[in-house]
Structure 1
């Protein structure tokens, strides 16, 4: 086991630990089930010459992919069963052919045991300059969320919910944030030719109950789907949709909005980090891309890992949210920048090459 890592795990400091070395070799020195969350953006294939060379300079993109897979399977080994792995990776062209490298990597990882829970589209909003006259500008990159097990991984969805809008009372009636008062639904129940009298009575009673939940704040908003008045939300087949079965048996169902707010979608508008004025590292990896994954999937007492840490963005964000973190990079000069950025000047062990007991 790497002695620096062992000491770091045992201490209480939230200052990041930075290790210089080849990611694959350093990861091999870390024991199984040690890391809570890994988030990284490796060098893209055939895009730039990074300090000290390293991955991304292979002549064949297939060799690049196989090198990444080997590294990420080491991540799989050292990640706790409750952990998450977030991968941002960009694409490349060869002979004008877009290679689909991110998707090739993601598919091979799932073929090797990883479970892909989400593909987030990072919309860069402005993107980079592109002088090509025979293709569109590339303004997005994927961010993949992988886990080791389908259930039981750490996921604090409430910490990233959007604040719900408030209900209000209009002329004595409770009105939801989107203007739902129940009057329109009562009218639809009354006029329904598909509901029995018993089903109508049940629908009125359930509607009154949910309106009280809105008034008390237990439910922030809702939709009522009534047989014959609206179609089912997802499918009309009772074999594949529980909603369709409920509609058939009861004649109605409700969609309730969480009182803590809605959860974000899988398209994130984040402007890339400004590269002006930087002379040694040019990856546009923004802090905002790291914030949600870290607070969402790393417990407060957990450890974040970045095996391609560069100038320390992920570790800097982890420290902001009081998480411990480990950053690995092959370039001493990047590690020095990362240490200064994260205020680790007094942590002499973080600048040492990797050693083993």
Structure 2
């Protein structure tokens, strides 16, 4: 495996990225940690830079007949680059749909369904805010609502002392928001108008039907989309040295990228050709 990865690094552009997925296994009841062992050697011996360890949450696993450990429903995807700063990463291509508040009958309603009127009511009825804090909260809330109406903000959430579940640690030492809540009585959360970047936990159900009679571990197409969209530019080339039945190549084609696939199995290569 390390020899193959070494060759991948040799042909990879300076701006390129490498995504690695290896299954783990047990020996004498010991989890071997193969994905991390390989990744650590890649960093230590070949100079790869690990940017992320992605958890692929499959939601379900194979039949688990053991009764002395937990079932396994995740795999790791390791995101590597060759340089610290020059690699290609298009975060705009993978952001989720932005949360957007709306105006109904003159009232601003957040994407979660909470209206500005409701926040005002919570401020008015609060027994945890002083009169001065309530006055300041009304002023700041009105400013936010006006910015929503003008389209300057996409969505927001207001946290009022002892009204909503907080989104931070209660310790003022580690949380500026905790300090703000204590001193001011409220604060606002503003959501990115461009949406959010995916986290390092991906919830993707495994493919059950795609050539399972031929390939027992076929990738789901959704697992290939984020890496290709974010780390391969349009008209770029996707190289898959373990292409199997060609899922990554199929996704690359649909996303407007070229691709090169390699596999030891002639049968898999023929299946990949037929799919493409």
For normalisation by structure 1, the TM-score amounts to 0.62
Task: Choose which of 121, 131, 143 in structure 1 pairs with 2:65.
Answer: 131
SS in 2 for 1:213: helix
Distance 2:190 2:204 in 1: 27
- 8 Å contact from structure 1 (residues 308, 327) kept in 2: yes
SS in 1 for 2:154: strand
Q: Is 1:148 equivalent to 2:82 in the alignment?
A: yes
Distance 1:193 1:125 in 2: 42
Deviation, structure 1 residue 300:
0.5
Task: Choose which of 209, 212, 219 in structure 2 pairs with 1:274.
Answer: 209
Q: Is 1:97 equivalent to 2:97 in the alignment?
A: no
1:252-288 CA deviation, whole Å, 9 max, x = no partner?
Answer: 5432112343443423222234366634x43332222
Q: How many residues align?
A: 272
Q: Is 1:326 equivalent to 2:260 in the alignment?
A: yes
1:154-190 CA deviation, whole Å, 9 max, x = no partner?
Answer: 3333333333455333553211111233345556767
Greater relative CO (CA pairs within 8 A, separation 6+)? 1
Task: Choose which of 264, 273, 283 in structure 1 pairs with 2:198.
Answer: 264
Paired position in structure 2 for 1:109: 42
Task: Choose which of 250, 254, 265 in structure 2 pairs with 1:316.
Answer: 250
Change (3 A) 1:267 1:331: closer
Deviation, structure 1 residue 138:
2.7
For normalisation by structure 2, the TM-score amounts to 0.77
Distance 1:152 1:245 in 2: 38
Counting only pairs closer than 5 Å after superposition, residues 229-308 of structure 1 correspond to structure 2 as 233=168, 236-237=171-172, 253-265=187-199, 266-274=201-209, 278-279=213-214, 281-308=215-242
Change (3 A) 1:116 1:252: farther
Task: Choose which of 105, 122, 128 in structure 1 pairs with 2:56.
Answer: 122
Deviation, structure 1 residue 305:
1.2
Change (3 A) 1:277 1:150: closer
- 8 Å contact from structure 1 (residues 124, 272) kept in 2: no
Distance 1:245 1:78 in 2: 51
Distance 1:322 1:137 in 2: 38
1:76-121 CA deviation, whole Å, 9 max, x = no partner?
Answer: 3433343322212111111222212122223333445433333332
1:49-70 CA deviation, whole Å, 9 max, x = no partner?
Answer: xxxxxxxxxxxxxxxxxxx334
SS in 2 for 1:278: coil
Distance 2:152 2:50 in 1: 32
Distance 1:245 1:148 in 2: 41
SS in 1 for 2:75: strand
CA RMSD of aligned residues (A): 3.6
Q: Is 1:167 equivalent to 2:101 in the alignment?
A: yes
Q: Is 1:83 equivalent to 2:16 in the alignment?
A: yes
